[in-house]
Every structure is written in C-alpha cells, then in structure tokens.
Amino acid sequence: MKNINFLFLAITLFLASCGGDKTETTGTETPATAATTTISVKGSDTVLPVSQKEAEEFMKANAGSAITVVGGGSGTGITALMDNSTDVCMSSRELKTDEKLKFQGKAIEVKEVVIGYDALSVIVHPENKVAQLTREQLEKIFTGEIKNWKEVGGADAQIVAYSRESSSGTYEFFKEHVMDKKNYATNVLNMPATGAIVQSISQTKGAIGYVGLAYLTEGVKAISVSYDAGKTFVAPSVEGAKDKSYPIARAMYYFYDAKNEAKVKSFVDYVMSDAGQKNVADAGYVPVK
C-alpha cells in the first residue's frame, strides 16, 4: 500500500511540474513575440504611398516591428510632431518660420531628412482638349480670374477647380510656387485627401486640380506646364523631376524629434538604403540616390 501511495505521489508531482513548466514557457514566449519596434508615421498624402510601402517592406524584414502610417496633410503631421503624438512627420514642404519657432519654444530639435522628390502634376479630365497651360494661366484659374475653358483654348465650359485643404503641404507649395503666393478663389473646392481630387476630376469634365506624381491614373490627364511664358512646355515625369526640367518639382521630407532618433533610426535608415530608395522609385517618385 505504501508503494502504491508513493507511486501516486510521484505521478502527481510529475504532472504538476509539467504544468508549471508550460505556464512558465508561455510567459517567456509573450515578450519574444511582442513588437520590438513600434513607430507612428503621420502627415502628407503625397508622401503617404511611399511611406506605406516602406513600412510594409521594413516590417517584412524586421520581425516584431510595428509601423502605423496615416495621412491627413503635412500640417496635420507637423502639429502631431509638436504634440508628441507621432514619431515621424511626412511632409511635402519645408517647415515654415513660425513652425520652427514653435518647435524651439517646445525645446524640440527637429531632424530633417529628404527621402525623395516629386513632380507636382496638374490634372484635368481625359476628355479635356487642353493639354498645356502656363504658370500665369494656372494662377488666374485658381485665383478665379479665368473661369471658362475657352479662355485657355478649350471648350466653352465652366472651370471647376479642386485643391487640397489648407493643412496640406501640397496646398501651400502650389500657392507659393504656382500662384505666386496669391489667395485661392473662394469657389475652389477643397478636398480632404489627394485621392478624392483624382476621383472628382475623373468624374467631372470641366475639372482641374493638382496631385503628386504617384497619384496619376488613366482616369485623369496630366498637362504640360510652362514657366517661361509659353516658350517651353514640360509634362510631369520622373525624368523631369530628376533633371529639374519640370518646373514644379519638390522634395519630400521626414521630420522627427532628435530625442527620438534612437527609436526611429532603423526605419529612417532603411528608407534611405538602396532597398528603401527602390521603394521610392516603385511608388512613382524620384529617389535621392
């Protein structure tokens, strides 16, 4: 009887030890599978497509990493960086003087990285026979001075102009470099996202707007632009942005707080690597190198 009791006790202890080992192993596995790199990226819709691609490929190559990418406009991303609610800000424009002063006031040292270049593209409906416009004509269209397509060689039809919202870096860039810093007309339709502009113009024959090069589709037509009063017209393209023959080329930026450099460095370094720069090209933009 004593032998039987001893055997029963031994089996019980063995089973208990197995159960204890299982619980302990599960506990140690959880941290191993948790994300080792968690980074938030927010801002420019122009930079959004390439950042989504960069994040996807980075996570494939770095098991356990987690990167969230959200658009909304350069201004939205810059504000988020000021409020410490994003790790990396995507921007299609440089920081303004007042923004730099606000960062200084918050004791935030902003690191700036140019990740690629874009050819800002003016688009119309595919059936619009207008194929080229001068900078001056574009200025007059978006300030409301030119209201009908017949005034620029097109059909007798009202011009419907689309723009991004004021929080967009593209909105700011277009205003400064195309409209000579003049104000948009009150009847210009402001859209919350670049994709919404593309969709609206593809469905509206009298429409005109502007988007990043990566957003060009068969549903819209990109027109050639002249910055020498009509002597030379150049269509938006990767080549035109690369050799600077296209007049509305611009840089695409990442901004981040220097205090977070250790956290974001691996991702930013990847974006600037050969593999990351290939993603920039694959997205339809111009790599830095």
Same domain assignment for residues 109 and 132 = no
**pLDDT attached to residue 26:** 31
Query: Domain boundary at 191, 210, 235, which?
Result: 235
87 and 62 together in one domain:
yes
Q: Are residues 263 and 222 in the same domain?
A: no
Question: How many beta carbons lie within 10 A of that of residue 287, not counting itself?
Answer: 20
- Give pLDDT, residue 1: 43
Q: What is the pLDDT of residue 10?
A: 38
Tokens of 195: 């994709």
**110-119 and 121-124 beta bridge pairing:** unpaired
In a domain, 3, yes or no: no
Residue 113 tokens, joined: 């990285």
Q: Is residue 14 part of a domain?
A: no
Domain match, 134 and 152 both: yes
Q: How far is CA 143 from CA 157, 175, 181, in A?
A: 17, 10, 10
Q: Are 273 and 106 spatial neighbours (Cβ–Cβ below 8 Å)?
A: no
Distance CA 63, CA 266 (A): 13
- 13 domain-assigned: no
**∠ Cα 257 279 119 (to 5°):** 85
Asked whether residue 10 is domain-assigned, the answer is: no
State whether 174 and 88 are in the same domain.
no
Do 127 and 112 share a domain, yes or no? no
Domain count, the chain: 2
Distances (CA, A) of 167 to 76, 109, 187, 273: 6, 22, 18, 30
Do 175 and 83 reside in the same domain of the chain?
no
| pLDDT reported for residue 36 | 73
Report pLDDT for 37. Answer: 78
Report the alpha-carbon angle 189-165-225, nearest 5: 70
Q: Are strands 189-191 and 160-164 parallel, antiparallel or unpaired?
A: parallel
d(CA 242, CA 217): 21
Q: Which domain holds residue 166?
A: 121-235
**Cα separation of 197 and 217, whole Å?**
12
pLDDT, tens digit only, all 289 positions of the chain: 434 343 333 333 333 333 333 333 333 333 334 457 799 999 999 999 999 999 999 999 999 999 999 999 999 999 999 999 999 999 999 999 999 999 999 999 999 999 999 999 999 999 999 999 999 999 999 999 999 999 999 999 999 999 999 999 999 999 999 999 999 999 999 999 999 999 999 999 999 999 999 999 999 999 999 999 999 999 999 999 999 999 999 999 999 999 999 999 999 999 999 999 999 999 999 999 8
Do 165 and 73 meet the contact criterion of CB atoms below 8 Å apart? yes
Residue with tokens 């017949």: 150
Q: Supply the CATH number for residue 262's domain.
A: 3.40.190.10
Residues 125 and 231 in one domain: yes
| In a shared domain, residues 134 and 58 | no
Assigned domain for 110 exists: yes
| pLDDT at residue 11, rounded to an integer | 34
What CA–CA distance (Å, rounded) separates 146 from 159?
A: 8
Q: 9-36 in b/e burial notation, b at 16+ Cβ within 10 A?
A: eeeeeeeeeeeeeeeeeeeeeeeeeeee
**In-domain check, residue 243:** no
Residues 146 and 209 in one domain: yes
Judge if 111 and 129 occupy the same domain.
no
Whole-angstrom distance, CA of residue 259 vs CA of residue 110: 9
Q: Is residue 19 part of a domain?
A: no
142 and 229 share one domain: yes
On whether residue 256 sits in a domain, the answer given is: yes
Report d(CA 222, CA 235) in Å as an integer.
7
> What pLDDT shows up at residue 7?
36
